[in-house]
Structure 1
Amino acid sequence: MAANKNKADKTKNTASGRKKTSSKTSSKGAKTASRTKASAVPKRSSGLSPRVRAILYAAVAAVFVCIIFIKGSNVWTMIRSFFFGFLGFGIFLVPVTLFYLCVMTEKEKQVARYKLKLFLCVIIILFIGALIYAGSGAKYSDMNFFACLGNLFKDASDTSRYMTFNCGIIGGLLGYPLVVLFGSTAALFTSFVVTAALILIVANISIKDMTAAASRTAVHIREAGEERARVRRERREENRERKLAERGDIDIALEGENRKSSGSFIDIPLDDKKTKVKEAKSAVNGIDTDIADSKEENAADKDLSQDLINIINRASKPMGKSADNTVSAIAEDISNEKSAPKAEQTEVKPDAETENIVKKALLKSKKDNSEEAGDEIAEQLDRAVRSDNSQKEEKKYQFPPIQLLKPKLNSDDSDAMEEMQNNAKKLIDTLTSFGVKAKIVNICRGPSVTRYELQPAPGVKISKITNLSDDIALSLAANGVRIEAPIPGKAAVGIEVPNKVVSMVTMRELIDSDKFKNSKSKLTTVLGKDISGEIVVTDLAKMPHLLIAGTTGSGKSVCVNSILMSILYKATPDEVKLLLIDPKMVEFSKYKGIPHLLIPVVSDAKKAAGALAWAVNEMLQRYKIFSEYDCKDIDSYNSLIEKNMNYMEKNPPVVNEEGEEVQPVLEVNGLPVAKEKMSRVVIAIDELADLMMAAPSEVEDSICRLAQMARAAGMHLILATQRPTVNVITGLIKANVPSRISLKVSSNTDSRTILDTGGGEKLIGRGDMLFSPVGAPKPIRVQGCYASDEEIEGVTHYIKKAYSAQYNSEIEEKIKRIAAEEIAQGKKSSDSDSASDEGLDVDSKMEEAIKCVIEAGQASTSLLQRRLKVGYARAGRMIDDMEQMGVVGPHQGSKPRDVLMTYNEWLERRNALENRAD
């Protein structure tokens, strides 16, 4: 037993020893781990962080900018003199260098690179100073080093000028040794080479990059020259063919009969138009066959709903057999999707209803295109007959042929089906994820935008959908979507999504449309196609004035050109006259010399104000004529002229008592009716903002009077501007110009300035516009048509070749006289204003009172009483004097007067008075 106890005690002692050893080991391990963790913690850097350094660089750069451009006094002048004397011209490089280092400090992760660039920037400033020293003649190089530096400091420390080209001390530090050792020319060359090399190193630009950029520029120049040469060759070819066509050298085989004539002749077929007509007819027959085949396939497919197929037909327009192949492929995809397992959730698979809607959108225009092709062939034949008959008649004004405009290219809509399917599926999924239940009832595919018409479930507010515009754009990966809620005339919400492939709307397809041809108005204009693909044609006479606004590159000038081109294709020079005002001198230059112009294109701002003043006088003169003949507008007056012409045809001339033949005419109120109709006048201004800056009061007054009264007189305004601010488009102009077009604008504020509603900032540009005609409840989204410079030049060249311009010299003289009178009147009024200011018995506190009302933003007698501590009578006299000076506006009853002078204008006036007193 004792032995067993001893063994147990030894076992316990051994176990306890192990425990002590393990505890010691664990404690040592913990201490080692703690030391390891402590050593692993990085030490804080003693230097400044990159962000702090960048802020310091920016602050120092701002201080140097203030030193350069702000003239102070006392200590500030001493500081400016010191830095100008020390750095010279290099003081202008210091802020640039510091701003560059501010940017590079954030980018460079390695401190060594940053320090290297800082060192190189300092060296660049030194070598630029040396370059200026050597280039300026190396002044004081015959003196010793320190005397040279002293004189350079004295020359550069003159702070009376903002710009100084003295090198300062920093230029002499390196420039003086270089000039002494190398000479002026060698020092100049060395400084230039080293400076250029250091700039390339700091900017990280290699010789290879410079060579590549130069080669690309040379290639662009060569390609531009080749393109211009090709355009000139094509233009010469077109002119030659046009001349041959006018002489009747090209014979069109209408019925395939061979013309026979006596005698020998040589018949050279210049254009085989008979073969082209046959090929076109066969193409039309092929299209009809394809349509019939596609209809049979659609009828055989029982899985597709007939109602949804009808919806899809309105969204897209493929040509020929591609539509049939597309429909059959989609039908196979739908059947495959029905049998496919539901586990494949990564792919976007629309439901059957959405597929049918998209199919209907893609099957629409097979019939339309076939009919258009047949109509185009028939129209060409009719046009050939008309041109053949017109040669036999007397020469009249002939409208430009439609062949001068480029035809529409067949677009490939093979990817449109997949795009609409994916967008429809993503759209429904996005709305569902936000708890909005809706279904797609229609898809309208336009040239640049597709509208998905949604019908919300009962109980869903429209605001829930409109608030998700950004989320929908994110889901569809679109630049932006526009939501029209609700669509006018429909119980649906429209979500407009930009197309990935934009189809160009050509001018030819709009001018050649039935809507344009059948319109009776001579001011019918084409704009483009709406979101459903329908042609948008409007009447300028019903607008009656149009305001167009949009940023640069949005299609503003193209829109104005399309309106003017429409007038050239619709009206003769006797029916419509144009008055074009182009301050930029480049937009309307193509229309110079056409017979529709009243006067040459106006480019001078003062002359433009005179032209608008002439238009006002012409409007008043027309109203006077209307009142004499009891006519209310130009249409009734022209109908009276037409009645008079019919009366003259029926009644031959008679011999009066004196033996002279007299043509009997109608008389109204004892006045004989005129024999010539009154033409309409369209006044187009390309850049309204420039005119408003040059002559704001004259231009605004003339535009407002024309906009208010010129409709019945047959005068219409087209105002275009790229700066839609309230200073340009004033409240009076907006109130009198009801029809407006907004292209792409930069902000919601600009859109509201034009349309009184938002949406213009969400357009995609390049002719995408919101058209708000007079009386429309909501703007219409339209993709504007495109007319290239070649097409415009071709049309105007055709018109100018046949008919020369006949400018009205009387109107030109009137405009020049009115412009001269306005300029003289403006000078006279300014002189009288200054004289009246001098002649006033000015109060001693007048300047203080003017400053008080300018700072307050309004003027009142009680304000001056409180601020200046004067009586009521004195404050009232000062208010009246300020009204005569033009500082404040007229009396407005109990309201405070408006302040017309800004703070800067008051400072200029005060300085002028002080200089005059001196």
Structure 2
Amino acid sequence: MSKRRRKSQPPPLIQPESRREIVMIFLFTLAGLFLLSYFGIAGQAGTFIDSALKGFLGILRPALPLAIIAAGAFFGSTKPRGAAIFGSILFLASTAGLLHLIEYPGEAGIKAVAQGLGGGYVGLFLAYPLFQIFGPWAGLIILTALLLVSLSLIFSAPLTAFLSSGHKALRAIGKLSAFFVRLFTRPKIHGEYEDKPVQQELEFEEHTIAEPEKEAKPQIGENTNNTDTSIESVPKISVAPRRRLGRIELPLDLLEKNGSKPVSGNIRERQEIIEKTLKNFGIDVDMGDVSVGPTVTQYTLRPADGVKLAAITALSNDLALALAAHPIRIEAPIPGKSLVGIEVPNEQVGAVRLREILESPEWQKRASPLNIVLGRDVSGKPWCADLPRMPHLLVAGSTGSGKTVCLNTIILSLLYQNSPDDLKLMLIDPKRVELPAYNGIPHLISPVITDVKQTVQALRWAIMEMERRFETLSDSGSRDIKSFNEGHPAEERMPYLVIVVDELADLMVAAASEVEGSIIRLAQMARAVGIHLILATQRPSVDVITGLIKANITSRIAFSVASLIDSRTILDTSGAEKLLGRGDMLFINSELGKPKRLQGAYISEQEIRRVVEYLKKAGSPEYLDLQVQSSLAMTPAGGSSDENDDLLPEAKDIILQAGKASASLLQRRLKVGYARAARMLDLLEAEGFIGPGEGAKPREILAP
């Protein structure tokens, strides 16, 4: 039995795998050609191809190379499916139709094709009939359905599964894009800082600053009126010509220049810690810019909608624990911005030198001769204040917080701007250890006052000087000292008078009523005549910083204090108890809505000594007699009485007529206050007109 043999089929010339690879290479080449044609770098043939595709697909022609690349990859990896290929064609066509229907419906679509716009002829072929037959909305629904069908054919999956996968893909894309946004668009970091700690450290109590190299000593001649004391190689701050002492220029080389940059730590890591910690408590935030200051680094953030600021400020201790930094201060919100600031202490504080600020552009643009240097803010920007606009200043802080250094900085910044003829200083230091270093400079109106009785006399003299200046302004028809000086020659101008008190608490303990009354009256009235007060105390209690003093001195500086109560006594708000000391301060005045955090400028004893010696060589002081002949008795209300009171004769007549002497009697008859009536009784007793008071018994009339 014969066997039937099958005829063997010859093997194919090209294997299926090779055919798929050839098709893939062809499609990739075609896609590359279309892509180069789109960018105009494929020669004349490319220009023709791009023109054809422009009419075929319109503005969707860049998508064709991408679709061909996807198809090539599909051919090279798996066995092609007819449904997927048809779905791809349908997807491109329905997309072109949707674009054409939305952008150029109706007759406008025909003109758009001629200009290469819309979805080209493919889009016009689908969109125009649907628009004419079904209208725009029904046509939109039909094309959207075709688009969904094409996606189902391409992925060979139910539509619900595709939508679920698409939702997950969109979420993954969102997270990935957010990561790249954080990676490539990092927040800006303002200010100068060091990545690694340096060895230099700033001390406020022990002045261990090395002596600078001597460059050129200022030569002061005997005749200071004609001697030019300028040093050409060193920048200086010039002042106007003087009446008696001539021109005095304080060289900036008397001050130290070398400072140190702060070390803020790992900024990116701390940003992530802050964001993660807040998220653990259910608070979503977007981190913003970072400002590196001398003392702290401020990290800004924007809370999500619906987040209460109180929820962020309540997490202060949790953030301090996570950052391993204490204490931190939260500013919510930052004035002028819709952001919250978290101030984290630097690993090492940067030194702020007075000379740096005197050389800064901000200082050179000052408009007032009584600008005072305070320091730098959290972004490293120099911060100054105009004393006439303040017009008085209250400084408080615990021992070693930088209070006295701040006073020295203020005094030196005033000396660098004004001559002795433009500025006079009255320095009061009951502690006898800090301000006496300025003895002998020509700006002083008296030696540094260290005695309480002398202080009371000096404050009384200041009130008399204020009244004398008011009379001068009234006679000349001037509104204030500035307008008076502008309308008079140099030799007739009034100098500004700045009264600096280093320790107010000692004065309040020894003579509270007289000191408080003098301060209140000066604070209320002395601004117009160019008299300004700068008061400092290390005991911010209510018996030292009284309500009347606070009401009249709105500009205040708070250094580090021990408790929240002390902070509220100074600033009427919290914050000073979280300061770091060594010049870290909060400054507030009538123009600031919230306290401003600053790092005070540092000045060493050697720098003060050099400036004082320079000024002593330039001229000698002309001290005034501050003894008030008409012993003024000040009251907290600011009133005064005179030994030669004009009402004393009338008071004698009233007492003789009534046959008794009492303060209430003089108040009713003379229509004066109790303080003045009691003072008149004391004066009459001193004259021997009446006897001393004996409790409830009436005074004896001694006069015949």
TM-score with structure 1 length normalisation? 0.44
Q: Deviations over 1:558-598 (max 9, x none)?
A: 11110000011111111110001110111101100000001
With over 3 angstroms needed to count, the CA separation of the structure-2 counterparts of 1:632 and 1:412, relative to structure 1, is: closer
Matched, 1:736 2:552: yes
CA contact (8 A) 1:551 1:745 kept: yes
Structure with the greater relative contact order (CA < 8 A, sep ≥ 6): 1 or 2? 2
Structure (1 or 2) with the greater helix fraction: 1
SS at 1:564's partner residue? helix
* Distance in 2 (alpha carbons) for counterparts of 1:807 and 1:449: 44
* Distance in 2 (alpha carbons) for counterparts of 1:307 and 1:611: 64
SS at 1:525's partner residue? strand
Amino acid of the residue matched to residue 369 of structure 2?
Answer: K
* Distance in 1 (alpha carbons) for counterparts of 2:595 and 2:430: 29
* Distance in 2 (alpha carbons) for counterparts of 1:410 and 1:755: 30
* Distance in 1 (alpha carbons) for counterparts of 2:436 and 2:184: 53
With over 3 angstroms needed to count, the CA separation of the structure-2 counterparts of 1:822 and 1:741, relative to structure 1, is: closer
Q: Look up the match of 1:678.
A: 494
Q: Look up the match of 1:770.
A: 586
SS at 2:492's partner residue? coil
With over 3 angstroms needed to count, the CA separation of the structure-2 counterparts of 1:615 and 1:465, relative to structure 1, is: same
With over 3 angstroms needed to count, the CA separation of the structure-2 counterparts of 1:605 and 1:410, relative to structure 1, is: closer
CA contact (8 A) 1:606 1:819 kept: no
Q: Deviations over 1:464-519 (max 9, x none)?
A: 10001111111112221111101111111111111111111111101122222231
Q: 1:405 aligns with which of 241, 251, 255?
A: 255
* Distance in 2 (alpha carbons) for counterparts of 1:559 and 1:773: 17
* Distance in 2 (alpha carbons) for counterparts of 1:487 and 1:304: 24
Q: 1:530 aligns with which of 370, 377, 387?
A: 377
Q: 1:697 aligns with which of 493, 513, 531?
A: 513
CA contact (8 A) 1:399 1:568 kept: no
CA contact (8 A) 1:681 1:716 kept: yes
CA contact (8 A) 1:522 1:576 kept: no
Shift of 1:409: 3.4
Q: Look up the match of 1:370.
A: none
Matched, 1:450 2:297: yes
* Distance in 1 (alpha carbons) for counterparts of 2:569 and 2:326: 23
With over 3 angstroms needed to count, the CA separation of the structure-2 counterparts of 1:578 and 1:620, relative to structure 1, is: same
* Distance in 2 (alpha carbons) for counterparts of 1:533 and 1:385: 25
With over 3 angstroms needed to count, the CA separation of the structure-2 counterparts of 1:435 and 1:559, relative to structure 1, is: same
Amino acid of the residue matched to residue 624 of structure 1?
Answer: E
Q: Look up the match of 1:558.
A: 405
SS at 2:289's partner residue? strand
Amino acid of the residue matched to residue 618 of structure 2?
Answer: A
Q: Look up the match of 2:355.
A: 508
* Distance in 2 (alpha carbons) for counterparts of 1:699 and 1:708: 14
With over 3 angstroms needed to count, the CA separation of the structure-2 counterparts of 1:312 and 1:818, relative to structure 1, is: farther
With over 3 angstroms needed to count, the CA separation of the structure-2 counterparts of 1:568 and 1:386, relative to structure 1, is: closer
SS at 1:712's partner residue? helix
Gaps of 5+ in 2: 1-178, 197-229, 644-663, 665-672, 675-704
* Distance in 2 (alpha carbons) for counterparts of 1:409 and 1:714: 35
Q: Look up the match of 2:62.
A: none
* Distance in 1 (alpha carbons) for counterparts of 2:589 and 2:287: 29
Q: 1:755 aligns with which of 571, 579, 583?
A: 571
CA contact (8 A) 2:587 2:597 kept: yes
Matched, 1:314 2:130: no
Q: 2:541 aligns with which of 725, 728, 731?
A: 725
* Distance in 1 (alpha carbons) for counterparts of 2:507 and 2:606: 29
CA contact (8 A) 2:329 2:342 kept: yes
Gaps of 5+ in 1: 1-301, 323-380, 646-674, 829-879, 881-888, 891-918
* Distance in 1 (alpha carbons) for counterparts of 2:232 and 2:296: 35
SS at 1:495's partner residue? strand
SS at 1:614's partner residue? helix
SS at 2:388's partner residue? coil
* Distance in 2 (alpha carbons) for counterparts of 1:536 and 1:698: 35
Amino acid of the residue matched to residue 402 of structure 1?
Answer: L
CA contact (8 A) 1:546 1:738 kept: yes
Shift of 1:313: 3.9
Shift of 1:437: 1.1
Q: Deviations over 1:681-724 (max 9, x none)?
A: 00000000111111111111110000000000100000100111
* Distance in 1 (alpha carbons) for counterparts of 2:417 and 2:365: 11
Shift of 1:427: 1.2
Q: 2:328 aligns with which of 463, 472, 481?
A: 481
With over 3 angstroms needed to count, the CA separation of the structure-2 counterparts of 1:682 and 1:442, relative to structure 1, is: same
CA contact (8 A) 1:522 1:575 kept: no
Amino acid of the residue matched to residue 703 of structure 1?
Answer: I
Q: Look up the match of 1:494.
A: 341
* Distance in 2 (alpha carbons) for counterparts of 1:412 and 1:761: 22
* Distance in 2 (alpha carbons) for counterparts of 1:581 and 1:395: 25
Q: Deviations over 1:802-856 (max 9, x none)?
A: 2122212xx33x34x4679889x99x9xxxxxxxxxxxxxxxxxxxxxxxxxxxx
With over 3 angstroms needed to count, the CA separation of the structure-2 counterparts of 1:395 and 1:542, relative to structure 1, is: closer
* Distance in 1 (alpha carbons) for counterparts of 2:557 and 2:602: 16
Q: Look up the match of 2:483.
A: 636
With over 3 angstroms needed to count, the CA separation of the structure-2 counterparts of 1:432 and 1:313, relative to structure 1, is: closer
* Distance in 2 (alpha carbons) for counterparts of 1:433 and 1:708: 52
With over 3 angstroms needed to count, the CA separation of the structure-2 counterparts of 1:818 and 1:698, relative to structure 1, is: farther
SS at 1:554's partner residue? coil
Q: Look up the match of 2:139.
A: none
SS at 2:621's partner residue? coil
Amino acid of the residue matched to residue 387 of structure 2?
Answer: L
Q: Deviations over 1:635-678 (max 9, x none)?
A: 11111104xx7xxxxxxxxxxxxxxxxxxxxxxxxxxxxx4100
Q: Look up the match of 1:384.
A: 233
CA contact (8 A) 2:587 2:598 kept: yes
Shift of 1:617: 0.9
Q: Look up the match of 1:800.
A: 616
With over 3 angstroms needed to count, the CA separation of the structure-2 counterparts of 1:697 and 1:436, relative to structure 1, is: same
Amino acid of the residue matched to residue 308 of structure 1?
Answer: T
With over 3 angstroms needed to count, the CA separation of the structure-2 counterparts of 1:715 and 1:510, relative to structure 1, is: same
Q: Look up the match of 1:746.
A: 562
Shift of 1:312: 2.6
- Two-structure CA RMSD over aligned residues (Å): 3.5
SS at 1:804's partner residue? coil
TM-score with structure 2 length normalisation? 0.57
CA contact (8 A) 2:403 2:536 kept: yes
Q: Deviations over 1:599-627 (max 9, x none)?
A: 11111001101111111111111111111
SS at 1:603's partner residue? coil
* Distance in 2 (alpha carbons) for counterparts of 1:821 and 1:698: 7
Amino acid of the residue matched to residue 251 of structure 2?
Answer: P
* Distance in 1 (alpha carbons) for counterparts of 2:374 and 2:593: 19
* Distance in 2 (alpha carbons) for counterparts of 1:783 and 1:593: 30
SS at 1:734's partner residue? helix
Amino acid of the residue matched to residue 312 of structure 1?
Answer: K
SS at 1:732's partner residue? helix
* Distance in 2 (alpha carbons) for counterparts of 1:307 and 1:633: 57
* Distance in 2 (alpha carbons) for counterparts of 1:303 and 1:318: 27
Amino acid of the residue matched to residue 375 of structure 2?
Answer: G
Q: Deviations over 1:415-468 (max 9, x none)?
A: x452x1232122112111111111211111100101110111112111110001
How do residues 156-305 of structure 1 correspond to structure 2 at under 5 angstroms?
none
Shift of 1:395: 8.0
* Distance in 1 (alpha carbons) for counterparts of 2:442 and 2:461: 20
Shift of 1:521: 1.3
* Distance in 2 (alpha carbons) for counterparts of 1:398 and 1:775: 34
Q: Look up the match of 2:17.
A: none
Amino acid of the residue matched to residue 471 of structure 1?
Answer: D
Q: Look up the match of 2:454.
A: 607
SS at 2:499's partner residue? strand
Q: Deviations over 1:746-778 (max 9, x none)?
A: 111111111111101010111000000222100
Q: Look up the match of 2:416.
A: 569
Shift of 1:386: 8.5
